Structure 1
Amino acid sequence: MKMAHTLCWIFLLCIHCRLWTGAWSKGTIHAKDKSCPQGWTRLNCRCFIYQDNQRAFTDAESVCNILGGNLASFHNFVEGFSIVGLLFDSGYNGTENIWIGLHDAIEDDDFIWTDGSQVDLAFLQSNFNFQPDGNGDCVFFSGLGLTDGSCTDEFGYVCSRDLLHS
């Protein structure tokens, strides 16, 4: 039953990504019409890249910083499911865990994005099945949505950078 639920969730993610990504990614950029670096995917005014090399959370954030961004944040349904679509387009099979930039390592139950943007926990809980269990401080995509785990675990990760500030 759990596997069927997971497969159904992944299928729905794929459908939503295909429906939303095309129209949304054709947004207009007013900051000198910048483009994403080679290998990155543009979603409106942001660029995203999936890195499949396994790293701990802080190491993954450091690599994203070197690349000019942070571990990925997302703030609406379209961004979140577009990131999932990017993962699948990059060869992700839905069974690996993938770091994003959400954590509560500074203070328990006070989640923050590594890029400093606002966190909407109600949105993450209702749309991405995020139910922090307190067993870890760093958040990742799993086959069932978002979950928290040990920041020292090594997973692939998604970086994002803002085109307007790059």
Structure 2
Amino acid sequence: MSLLTYSVLLVLLYTVKVSGEACPNGWTRHDASCYFFVDIHETWQDASAHCEALDSQLASIQSEREDVFLRNTLHQLHVHDSTARVMYWLDGTDIATETEWTWAYSEEPITKYTHWCPHQPDNANANEDCLRLGKFCDFGWDDGDCETKEFFICERHDKEYVYNFVLMGWYRHHFNS
């Protein structure tokens, strides 16, 4: 077995071990993140602070796969709720510049993936600057007044998991030339 093959196998084994670690009690793993679905009503800013206190941030949705996971989980959590008025804060905001949505924690523009409810975002009453998931439209995306108290989702990224993808890329770059 060549040194390169052995090195790559070690990296792959380490990545599998790290990405298989359990999430903290009460959190749910999906891919490289752990999610905590908080059933306390908070403003967007207080929800963000709550997540930070848990060494996480409000969830940001980067792909359809992640969106479907979150929507399915919320459907399971609220299968017996008769009201459509169930909302969950996410990390998105356009408070800096109206209609320019960004993920607050990373400051990345929300351009890769979106799943807005029909006719959203609408900035109703000219003060809807925070992103939430709404049961009224199958937990699609809705802009809401940041001062409204809603449930929220915290996300903790598996830093080691991401680090190992970078490390594997470094190996490929240096040994596959």
Q: TM-score, normalised by structure 2?
A: 0.68
Paired AA for residue 133 in structure 2 = F
Sort the Cα spacing of 1:137 and 1:108 in 2 relative to 1 into closer, same or farther, 3 A: same
**Matched-pair identity in %:** 23
Q: How many residues align?
A: 137
Larger Rg: 2
Any idea what the Cα deviations from partners look like across 1:107-163, whole Å, max 9, x if unmatched? 222211133163444731xx4436211231111111222111210000001110101
**Contact (CA 8 Å) 1:57, 1:99: kept in 2 or not?**
yes
Any idea what the Cα deviations from partners look like across 1:20-52, whole Å, max 9, x if unmatched? xxxxxxxx7464743211100000110011111
Q: Which runs of 5+ in 1 are unaligned?
A: 1-27
**Contact (CA 8 Å) 1:36, 1:163: kept in 2 or not?**
no
SS of the counterpart of 1:73?
A: coil
Q: 2:159 aligns with which of 154, 158, 164?
A: 164
The aligned runs of 1:17-166 (5 Å cut-off) are: 29=16, 31=18, 33-91=20-78, 93=81, 94-116=84-106, 118-121=108-111, 123-124=113-114, 127-129=115-117, 131-134=120-123, 135=126, 136-142=128-134, 143-144=136-137, 145-164=140-159
Paired AA for residue 147 in structure 2 = T
Counterparts of 1:46 and 1:29, CA distance in 2:
14
**Contact (CA 8 Å) 1:97, 1:140: kept in 2 or not?**
yes
Counterparts of 1:32 and 1:165, CA distance in 2:
8
Counterparts of 1:165 and 1:66, CA distance in 2:
20
Counterparts of 2:117 and 2:113, CA distance in 1:
9
**Contact (CA 8 Å) 1:71, 1:100: kept in 2 or not?**
yes
Paired AA for residue 65 in structure 1 = E
Counterparts of 2:74 and 2:150, CA distance in 1:
13
Q: Does 134-143 or 83-92 show the bigger shift?
A: 83-92
Counterparts of 1:75 and 1:122, CA distance in 2:
7
Counterparts of 2:21 and 2:93, CA distance in 1:
30
Q: Which runs of 5+ in 2 are unaligned?
A: 1-14, 162-177
Q: TM-score, normalised by structure 1?
A: 0.72
CA RMSD of aligned residues (A): 2.4
SS of the counterpart of 1:159?
A: strand
SS of the counterpart of 2:66?
A: helix
Counterparts of 1:114 and 1:30, CA distance in 2:
31
Name the structure 1 match of 2:166: none
